[in-house]
Amino acid sequence: MSAEPTVEGLAQELSTYLDTNRINQVRRAYYYAEQAHEGQMRKSGDRYITHPLAVARILAELKLDHQSLMAAMLHDVIEDTGIPKDALAEQFGEDVAELVDGVSKLTQIEFRSRAEAQAENFQKMTLAMARDIRVILVKLADRLHNMRTLGPMPYEKRQRIATETLDIYAPIANRLGMHSICTELEDLGFSSLYPMRAKYISKAVNKLRGSHREIIEEIRGRLQEKLEERGLPGRILGREKHLNSIYNKMKFKHKSFHEIMDVYAFRIITDTEDDCYRILGAVHSLYKPLPGRFKDYIAMPKANGYQSLHTTLFGMHVNIEIQIRTEEMEHIANNGIAAHWMYKNEPSNVTSVNQARVDRWVKGLMEMRERADDSLEFIEHVKVDLFPDEIYVFTPKGRIMELPSGATPVDFAYAIHTDIGNAAVACRINRNLGSLSQPLQSGQTVEIITAPGARPNPAWLSFVVTGKARSSIRHVLKTQKRAESLELGRTLLKKSLKGFGTKLADISDGQKQAVVNHNQVNSFDDLISDIGLGNRMAYLVARQLVNGAEGAESATVEAGRPADRSPVTIRGTEGLLVKFASCCKPIPGDPVVGVMDSGNGMVIHSDTCSRLPEDDEGRARLTHLKWAKDITDEFSVELRVELERQRGVIAELANAVAMADGNIERISVEDQNAKFGIVSLVVHVNGRRHLARVMRRIRNIRAVTHINRVRH
């Protein structure tokens, strides 16, 4: 067994690119983590601290900055030892605490489903949740070390972690251009999932490599000779074929093992871009290039920053694949976005040239992102939320929904299905009841609670952000308003016709059409709808229907009109077009009248309300109403309670209301002196009898001297 790695060994490695002060900060993070994980062991029997140290070493190989290394040391501290984020911020600064917190959050995502699209969305969500891209780099290093030491884990856990690695983490490494980490994750994942297949392929590769050694050496020799002949600098490396990529080519491209392995792959690494093209000319003069197999990724880099010339040649009866790139391209191909920090640490030896090449690379990536079709082919800056305009949330079954930033549970409900949005009444976010209007965050699980017969609330329009939610709500409200205005209009028209001693059924289609034409509307329904909305008077339309449109030309509301005093029944739950006046707050049992409000339907007032018209003409326009018998809905009532000031009297008041099954909506102390106070209460009751019960309970409190219902 190899000796346990030490922090001193790491410090030695860091001294090649970090100054002493920064190395000491990394050391401090190590000792803090060592103390926090004291007594914890890994499945392998090693002390737990060996894991964070190994993760830091992987990042040190990528020459990452000291904050990333500190976060690597501390990445399991919040999760495993209960030390809170702010304690880390106090010790190591806000940046490091943020990184550690980000890694912990990623660790908590449960990867439940395995569909292709899901894997892609998980990758997006993983990236979206990391506000600082270094979070991803620490997470990748953490995953890489876990994959290297997967052996002692139980079988199921090994399978789950390996699948997750192949579905989520290896593709992320690839998207960030980190080829070396990507291929290692792929091969470790493949070997874990399919140990037998990996063993067979590996055996076959070694066997083939042995028998092909001579050909490989000969091709390498010829290439070397050609470069020397032309005076071109270049290192020639043989390229390994990776187990996972061999397996995938066999599986998805239906190629035989020998077809794949009969390709000899080399990489030539040179000094400048110019040399790359010269070497390309040299190898093309040595062996014939295969048509259509040449790719220039130097002039047009891949979206993750990868640059190289690729060409396939035919020589010595075999295909020869060659990649040609500069040292810098090689470094970026292997380490991708991590190649940044090598030049970002501002130690004394950083030159402006290095800085410029990093900035050039980032700029190139940004330009490519604009051209890229796939939103995942990206990277805006090094430190940026990669998907600032999208959030990713789970349905209760683990499906991922992609929504625009700022989306609420209502948007989520409509994204699932219009019917679910229309019937939504509440929601659970991460299993706790949440508000329908709160903006969602990536990674949350959202569950919508629906109720049969529920309708969208017009207030939703003020906070939804998706077009689908907005148009669906508007559509339902429009349809609902139309249906309600027709119903109310028809009721009011029937009542007015009754006053003329006739019924709607007795009016002929011809009479109706004449009135429709006279009023210049499209249909009789539109006319009725206008009555319901308060834009026309039912009495006038009734008169036109009875006397003929022309005869009612100058009809005014006469005081002695044939009036029908039979009231219209209301239930109090009519919806958009029947509203209760906020001035007098009528409740079931109160004598009430309806006032038509232009465009908005009917407003219900108590018949003693001071806001009602006083004159005869105005009074004649009121609709007499009566309450239905079986109302169970709640209505607001305002009460004014005068009382002697005593300790705990407000609690006693609240208790009295609760004992009478009332609900308090609002309670406020209006004015008071040392002895007396006035309390204003808004209580929900379902009628006058219920209100009487509530008032009786309040009156029974010894401190209460007077109580009355407030009507403004």
CATH number at 7-178 = 1.10.3210.10
**Res. 430 pLDDT band, cuts 50 70 90:** confident
CATH value of 635-709 in 2.60.40.2250, 2.30.130.10, 3.40.1190.20, 3.30.70.260: 3.30.70.260
- The mean pLDDT value for 549-571 works out to 51
The residue ranges of every structural domain in the chain are 7-178, 197-336, 476-547, 570-627, 635-709
Q: What is the pLDDT of residues 613-668, one digit of tens each?
A: 877 777 767 777 888 777 777 788 889 999 888 888 888 888 899 888 888 888 88
Residue 68 in contact with residue 341, Cβ under 8 Å?
A: yes
Alpha helices in 130-178 (DSSP H): 133-148, 155-164, 170-175
Q: At residue 378, does pLDDT exceed 80? A: no
Token pair 């991708």 in the structure block, residue: 336
Protein fold of 197-336: Beta Polymerase; domain 2 (3.30.460)
pLDDT at res. 572 = 60
Q: Which residues are catalytic?
A: 79-80
pLDDT at res. 389 = 56
pLDDT at res. 603 = 85
Of the two residues 502 and 630, the one the predictor is more confident about is 502
Helix and strand counts by DSSP (H, E) for the chain: 28, 20
Token pair 């990236």 in the structure block, residue: 127
Spatial distance between the Cα atoms of 289 and 273, rounded to a whole number of angstroms: 20
| Tokens matching residue 411 | 């948007």
Q: What is the pLDDT of residues 204-231, one digit of tens each?
A: 888 887 778 888 888 999 999 999 999 9
Q: How much of the chain exceeds pLDDT 90, in percent?
A: 21
Q: What angle do CA 691, 694, 699 make, to 5 degrees?
A: 120
Looking at the DSSP bridge assignments, the partners of residue 264 are: 320
Closest CA to 104 of 72, 59, 57: 72
Spatial distance between the Cα atoms of 459 and 324, rounded to a whole number of angstroms: 62
Query: Going by C-beta distance under 8 Å and a sequence separation of 6 or more, which residues neighbour residue 69?
Result: 14, 26, 29, 56, 59, 60
pLDDT at res. 483 = 83
Residue 602 in contact with residue 661, Cβ under 8 Å?
A: no
Q: What is the pLDDT of residues 136-150, one digit of tens each?
A: 888 899 999 999 998
Spatial distance between the Cα atoms of 469 and 460, rounded to a whole number of angstroms: 9
Spatial distance between the Cα atoms of 604 and 488, rounded to a whole number of angstroms: 13
| Tokens matching residue 546 | 């009875």
Residue 481 in contact with residue 576, Cβ under 8 Å?
A: yes
Strands 601-606 and 592-597, sheet pairing = antiparallel
pTM score of the predicted model: 0.53
pLDDT at res. 120 = 59
Longest dimension (CA), the chain: 118
149: helix, strand or coil: coil
| Tokens matching residue 600 | 């908005």
| Tokens matching residue 130 | 């990391």
Closest CA to 661 of 630, 689, 619: 689
- The mean pLDDT value for 18-38 works out to 91
Q: At residue 707, does pLDDT exceed 80? A: yes
User: Count of residues for the chain?
Assistant: 712
pLDDT at res. 413 = 94
C-alpha distance from residue 59 to each of 67, 349, 597 (Å): 11, 20, 71
Q: For the chain, how far is it from start to end, CA to CA, in angstroms?
A: 87
Spatial distance between the Cα atoms of 458 and 477, rounded to a whole number of angstroms: 7
Closest CA to 72 of 135, 119, 22, 127: 135
Q: What is the pLDDT of residues 158-198, one digit of tens each?
A: 888 898 888 878 877 877 778 889 999 999 999 999 999 99
Q: At residue 518, does pLDDT exceed 80? A: yes
Q: At residue 122, does pLDDT exceed 80? A: no
Please give the helix or strand (H or E) that residue 11 lies within, else none.
helix 7-14
Looking at the DSSP bridge assignments, the partners of residue 644 are: 676
- The mean pLDDT value for 357-371 works out to 47
Give helix 85-92 / helix 20-36 axis angle, nearest 10°.
150
Q: Do domains 7-178 and 635-709 have the same CATH topology?
A: no
pLDDT at res. 312 = 92
**Phi, psi at 663, each rounded to 5°:** -115, 135
- The mean pLDDT value for 424-450 works out to 88
Spatial distance between the Cα atoms of 501 and 496, rounded to a whole number of angstroms: 9
Please give the helix or strand (H or E) that residue 610 lies within, else none.
none
Spatial distance between the Cα atoms of 55 and 216, rounded to a whole number of angstroms: 36
Token pair 């702010």 in the structure block, residue: 86
pLDDT at res. 299 = 82
Please give the helix or strand (H or E) that residue 682 lies within, else none.
strand 676-685
Query: Going by C-beta distance under 8 Å and a sequence separation of 6 or more, which residues neighbour residue 2?
Result: none
Per-residue three-class SS string for 259-321: HHHCEEEEEEEECCHHHHHHHHHHHHHHCEECCCCCEECCCCCCCCCCCCEEEEEEECCEEEE
Spatial distance between the Cα atoms of 109 and 121, rounded to a whole number of angstroms: 12
Spatial distance between the Cα atoms of 598 and 595, rounded to a whole number of angstroms: 10
Q: At residue 2, does pLDDT exceed 90? A: no
